[in-house]
Structure 1
């Protein structure tokens, strides 16, 4: 039976490949759809309407319009860190009340 972290890894891989389909990379449009569906609050909370463009530019190391699985992991790791930081601050604020 897979551990929780192994299950999370499997879900991350399957999510990437579901949106990349058989290309094994994400285009900017694939990334936009993925972010809209998998991180629904992310774009809603962005003041910058070009957030997906900026993410793609930051992560597309080869500048070929293709986001690799490794780059996708960088995005998910960054978002996970941000969510963790937010949660820690939120929990501390709740504890002070």
Structure 2
């Protein structure tokens, strides 16, 4: 039976490939696929953002090799950065409550 962390890793891999196989290179997200993934999988994150060019900015920031696509390694960087930000917020809230 897999651990919770192993399940989380499996889910990340499956989600990436669920969207990457829609157009073009089956192992990379183009801008449309990235936008769809963000809209469906990070709905609350997108709703609280006020920038109309957010997907363009995320794509530009993630696309380390500048091929106009996001590969799995670049995707993991995004998920890790968002996870760190969420943890920082969680820790700050705990500190405010005195825990």
Greater per-residue helix proportion: 1
> Which runs of 5 or more residues in structure 1 are unaligned?
none
Q: Deviations over 1:47-75 (max 9, x none)?
A: 21111101100111222211000000000
Describe how 1:62-81 pairs up with structure 2 within 5 A.
62-81=65-84
Whole-Å Cα distance in 2 between the matches of residues 42 and 49 of structure 1? 13
TM-score (norm 2): 0.89
Q: What is aligned with 1:14? A: 14
Question: How large is the Cα RMSD of the aligned pairs?
Answer: 1.4
Aligned twin of 1:27: 30
1:88 counterpart residue number: 91
Residues 54-69 of structure 1 aligned to structure 2 (within 5 Å): 54-69=57-72
Q: Does 1:2 align with 2:2?
A: yes
| TM-score scaled by length of structure 1 | 0.91
The alignment of Structure 1 onto Structure 2 pairs a total of residues equal to: 96
Distance 1:64 1:3 in 2: 35
List, as ranges, runs of 4+ consecutive aligned residues in structure 1 with deviation greater than 4 Å: none
Counterparts of 1:16 and 1:77, CA distance in 2: 14
Task: Indicate the larger mover: 56-65 or 79-88.
Answer: 56-65
Q: Which runs of 5+ in 2 are unaligned?
A: none
